A and B are shown apart, each in its own frame.
Chain A
Amino acid sequence: SAVISQKPSRDICQRGTSLTIQCQVDSQVTMMFWYRQQPGQSLTLIATANQGSEATYESGFVIDKFPISRPNLTFSTLTVSNMSPEDSSIYLCSTSGQGGGGTQYFGPGTRLTVL
């Protein structure tokens, strides 16, 4: 399975600021996914990031708020812009590995608190 790391693991930020989360995979992958998990909730897909093209955002998520970069096949960043307390969540990146059915493997997550 792919080994995925994320930085930072957690952060506490002030409202109105931005935070960039980094996701590194130990092998080249086509697709990377960014999910948000609000407190006590399930995971919701923010966007899909393919190398060399614009990210595809799901309903309710926009590029101005969550810009994503995918400069190569092992790395992606997600920025949470102009943060408010409602952005307090765990942000997880994932990618498909060698498991059956395109099993997705997740990074350890970034726990964000916005004050």
Chain B
Amino acid sequence: AQKITQTQPGMFVQEKEAVTLDCTYDTSDQSYGLFWYKQPSSGEMIFLIYQGSYDEQNATEGRYSLNFQKARKSANLVISASQLGDSAMYFCAMREPFLYQAGTALIFGKGTTLSVSS
């Protein structure tokens, strides 16, 4: 079973509109972390936002917010007031303590391509 599921291969939005990118995850651990990264066409991975499993408040970073619904195991990224520069691939990722032998690495979803038009 996939650990991280992003069901939207592509999303289209107009400038200044808000957009929600979906992410659901699968874990039996109580302690985990959820992350969103942006990957422009240049290929670099840019960290956007983090949510810990014990955090009661939804994380926010500028125009980015994470809609964390623990019971539903979802961690959707909300981008407010989209800009042309937001066009990129967006990856949801999870960190579990014992996912890997050496621990602490991330597992990524397949990503969602966001296209922002003027």
Contact = CB atoms under 8 A, between A and B. Distances in A.
A50 B42 CA distance: 28
A77 B64 CA distance: 34
Contacts, number: 70
B108 A103 contact: no
Label chain A's interface by main secondary structure: strand
Interface residues of A, number: 29
A42 B105 contact: no
B19 interface: no
B68 interface: no
Interface of A: 1, 31, 33, 37, 41-45, 48, 50, 56, 58, 90, 92, 94, 96, 99-109, 111
Interface of B: 33, 35, 37, 42-47, 50, 52, 91, 95, 100-102, 104-111
**5 tightest A-B CB contacts, nearest first:** A101-B33, A48-B102, A106-B45, A56-B102, A109-B43
